[in-house]
């Protein structure tokens, strides 16, 4: 008899496949709306024409769709998926509804990497500036962010072998995050105003900065992270019942914990490297998904969270583009502004939040 099946409340079975279909429809719909709206008005029939590989009536429209809107929409999907699943993993690992993908200091590590490059006298950035303009794209920033988050990850992993207790690990993670942020502040304090501005713009997050030829890396990283998460469904269900219980079921808690951290780091670190820090999605989406699906079973939650995260970020991106105007808003601000009220509402509706943890 499968013990995990006992302990996962199965409300509303039978509706779930329908929900998944609805989520998929919503995702496809939003994807198309995202392509259709932007600063420049492009008639829908031209967009369809371009998507089907035809020639557009205006050359600029074709470039806008192919070079700008498609990469941005696809980036939004990957970022939404990755951050949401990362958040779900952390919430389950720490049994804490406030945890998110950045809770272990992994995103702060990425920010530190970027700050070092952007603020360290500016020399490193400018050495690469030329290649960047011609061909390098933003590789320097991406590599710096990846190394930064990888360094923090390594530290956390070492600590997680030594420390058996998740609450201790959570506090250590938060402190490491604070330390890196403090380092960044000191660096900013001694930097030129224009460098600070540069770094500040990076911290707003951006979905539009990933060109087509870099997208596949984002995809590979997200898929590996997401794949590990899917494979962890059963241990995650076990962890919800407490570590001792999970051990008694024959789960290797330390092993699962390490894989959870690796997966989250890949997801959060990869996205932060390419898009900058995008807040909120990772904390909010797991709550929304739980309340929609009415279950704690990760075999359902993980795929649903993936879809939900992509939908939320696509929706936020549409708002951030302020369709029809040449103004755009920073994505991180929009995710928080749109998402916070939704989460407050959901949590008040549910009343028994603690029951999920």
- Give the footprint of other proteins on this chain (CB under 8 A): 38-40, 59-61, 63-64, 67-69, 118, 121-123, 125-127, 129-130, 132-143, 146-147, 150, 154, 157-158, 161, 189-190, 192-194, 197-198, 201-202, 206, 208-211, 213, 217, 252, 254-255, 258, 262, 326-328
Q: 217: how many CB neighbours lie within 10 A of its CB? A: 14
Q: Cβ 133 to other proteins, closest distance in Å? A: 6
Q: Which is nearer to other proteins, 24 or 161 (CB)?
A: 161
Which candidate, 296, 286, 157, 282, places its Cα nearest to that of 238?
A: 296
* Closer by beta carbon to other proteins, 180 or else 206: 206
Nearer to other proteins, 126 or 178 (CB): 126
Contact 214, 145 (CB under 8 A): no
Give least dist CB 304 to other proteins, A.
Answer: 28
Residue closer to other proteins, measured from CB, 19 or 128: 128
For other proteins, the closer CB: 147 or 304: 147
Closest CA to 277 of 174, 164, 140, 148: 148
We find the least distance from the C-beta atom of residue 117 to other proteins, in angstroms, to be 9
Query: What's 133's DSSP letter?
Result: I
Report the nearest approach of other proteins to the CB of residue 2 (Å). 25
CB 318 within 8 A of CB 334: no
Nearest approach in angstroms of CB 266 to other proteins is 9
Q: What is the distance between the terminal CA atoms of the chain, rounded to a whole angstrom?
A: 24
The least CB distance from residue 189 to other proteins, in Å, is 8
- Measured from the CB of residue 287, what is the shortest distance to other proteins in angstroms? 30
Q: Alpha helix locations (H) across the chain?
A: 3-7, 16-36, 44-51, 59-63, 70-94, 106-119, 123-131, 139-162, 166-189, 193-203, 212-231, 233-239, 243-248, 253-275, 281-293, 298-320, 331-350
Identify which of residues 37 and 293 has a Cβ nearer to other proteins in the complex.
Answer: 37
DSSP symbol at 353: G
| Least separation in angstroms between CB 103 and other proteins | 20
Sorted by sequence, the CB contacts under 8 Å of residue 288 that are 6+ apart come out as: 308, 312, 342, 343, 346
Rounded Cα gap, residues 41 and 33, in angstroms: 12
Cα–Cα distance list, 39 to 35, 68, 71 (Å): 11, 11, 16
Specify the residue, 141 or 308, whose C-beta has the smaller distance to other proteins.
141
Give the residue with the Cβ less far from other proteins, 26 or 333.
333
Residue 10: strand, helix, or coil: strand
């Amino acid at each position: 008899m499968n013990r995990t099946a006992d302990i996962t409340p199965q409300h509303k079975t039978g509706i779930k496949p329908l929900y998944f279909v609805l989520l998929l429809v919503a995702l496809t719909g939003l994807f198309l709306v995202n392509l259709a709206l932007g600063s420049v008005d492009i008639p829908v029939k031209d967009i369809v024409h371009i998507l089907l590989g035809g020639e557009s009536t205006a050359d600029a429209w074709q470039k806008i769709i192919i070079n700008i809107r498609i990469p941005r929409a696809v980036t939004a999907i990957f970022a939404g998926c990755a951050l949401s699943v990362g958040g779900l993993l952390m919430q389950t690992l720490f049994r804490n509804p406030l945890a998110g993908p950045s809770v272990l200091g992994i995103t702060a590590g990425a920010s530190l990497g970027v700050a070092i490059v952007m603020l360290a006298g500016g020399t490193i950035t400018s050495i690469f500036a030329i290649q960047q303009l011609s061909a390098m794209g933003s590789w320097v920033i991406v590599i710096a962010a990846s190394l930064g988050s990888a360094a923090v990850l390594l530290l956390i992993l070492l600590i997680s072998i030594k420390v058996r207790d998740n609450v201790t690990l959570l506090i250590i993670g938060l402190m490491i995050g604070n330390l890196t942020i403090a380092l960044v502040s000191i660096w900013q304090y001694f930097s030129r105003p224009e460098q600070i501005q540069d770094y500040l713009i990076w911290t707003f997050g951006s979905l539009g900065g990933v060109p087509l030829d870099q997208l596949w890396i984002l995809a590979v990283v997200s898929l590996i992270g997401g794949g590990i998460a899917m494979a962890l469904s059963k241990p995650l269900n076990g962890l919800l019942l407490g570590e001792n219980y999970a051990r008694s079921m024959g789960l290797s808690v330390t092993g699962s914990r390490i894989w959870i951290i690796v997966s989250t780091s890949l997801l959060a670190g990869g996205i932060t490297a390419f898009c900058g820090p995008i807040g909120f999605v990772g904390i909010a989406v797991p709550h929304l998904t739980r309340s929609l699906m009415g279950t704690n079973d990760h075999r359902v939650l993980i795929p649903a969270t993936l879809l939900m995260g992509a939908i939320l970020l696509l929706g936020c991106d549409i708002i951030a583009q302020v369709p029809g105007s040449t103004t755009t808003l920073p994505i991180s601000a929009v995710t928080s502004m749109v998402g916070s009220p939704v989460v407050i509402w959901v949590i008040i509706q549910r009343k028994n939040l603690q029951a999920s943890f």
